[in-house]
Amino acid sequence: MPGLDYFSNNTNTNGSTATAAPSESSSGVYYNARLDPKNYLEGPLSPIASTRLRQMLARPGIVTAPGICDGISARCALEAGFECLYQSGAATTASRLGQPDLAIATMNDFVGAANMVCSINPSVPVIADADTGFGGPINVARTVKQYISAGVAGLHIEDQVQTKRCGHLMGKQVVSREEFLTRIRAAVIARDSVPGSDFVIIGRTDSAQVLGMEEAITRLKLARDAGADVCFIEGVKTEELLRSTVAALAPTPVLVNVISGGLTPSFTYQDAERMGAKIIIFSLVSCVAMVHAVRAAMHSLKKTGTDFTSAQGMDPKSFFEVMGLNEVVELDAKAGGSAFQVV
């Protein structure tokens, strides 16, 4: 039963450990022996994405996850050698809907994108934005199960109101601590209801810009105690604040989000590792680059009447090779097919 993964720090008079279901009145702290980081320290990296992510979190080195927005950006990230990907909510909303990050995309939009991205290389962990969980506890639970089914390795859920916005825009509003913790508990319960799942739950707070850093740290500590595996502080503005956040939450892994021109300085992944962060995501790296490249290509086509310059010598076959053409040809040949003997 999911509730059995919750353990209180209290001990009964007979010496046994008391169990407690998650509730606002419970003083218990979530603990699941099966998911203890020490279980992921040794052995080869797993082909199961969620297990692989937990191994990466338990072992030395920072996890660098570039933001991807579609199949092309995912392919390019994998080609570059990245071992973890980040499905940005802002990038997904932009690429699928052509809209800003203002809670316009639905859970189905996010899950549809995740199904495609996770299928490209199912062993590479994908961390996916889940906004506010898309509703109350039941909706949060459904979101978690849908993400697990899509092959996502972990997600983050935040404490903004349902009509949220990008964490690097102004005017954010957050829900109460209690509502935030309800979201985290619902996510953990849903994960634990899936037999054998080691899906990673990341608690994100946007309260630093609204209520101050002290409140942000308090919320992340409460999220950790409610079962969040990783803590994500959005919009941390200085190296000193990131270092103090890491120290306050240790040994829980901390995620930092870098967006060029956003609230957080343009830390490199080496900087973030030196400051103690365990995960760094670059949410808009692909879609901003795409805007620049596509804009330039469109202006060039409009001006010159041809796409010759913007193609930079890439012919159709070379493009399809980036998209996995060689793997498709190889599979067909191994299966005894002959459809792609000449391409």
Catalytic residue among 84, 229, 257, 269: 257
Helices (H) and strands (E) in the chain, counts: 14, 11
Query: Taking the CA atoms of the chain, what radius of gyration do you get in angstroms?
Result: 21
Q: Catalytic: which of 166, 168, 185, 231?
A: 166
* Annotation says 225 is catalytic: no
The yes-or-no answer on residue 86 being catalytic is yes
3-state secondary structure of 10: strand
Active site residue 129: yes
Q: Pick the catalytic residue from 5, 129, 192, 198.
A: 129
Which one from 5, 158, 192, 229 is the annotated catalytic residue? Answer: 158
232 and 205 Cβ atoms separated by less than 8 Å: yes
Q: In angstroms, rounded to a whole number, what is the distance separating the alpha carbons of residues 4 and 14?
A: 19
Note if 166 is an active site residue: yes
Catalytic residue among 6, 86, 147, 269: 86
Could you give the count of Cα atoms lying within 13 Å of 166 in the half-sphere of its Cβ? 19
- Choice among 165, 183, 204, 224 that is catalytic: 204
The answer to whether residue 101 is catalytic is yes
Laid out side by side, the sheet with 17-19 consists of 17-19, 6-11, 29-30
70 noted as active-site residue: no
Among 6, 40, 69, 101, the one annotated catalytic:
101
Annotation marks residue 204 as catalytic: yes
Closest by alpha carbon to 286, among 131, 84, 66?
Answer: 66
- The catalytically annotated residue of 5, 70, 131, 198 is 131
Options 30, 198, 234, 269, the catalytic residue: 234
The catalytic position among 156, 165, 177, 219 is 156
Tell me the catalytic residues. 86, 101, 129, 131, 156, 158, 166, 204, 234, 257
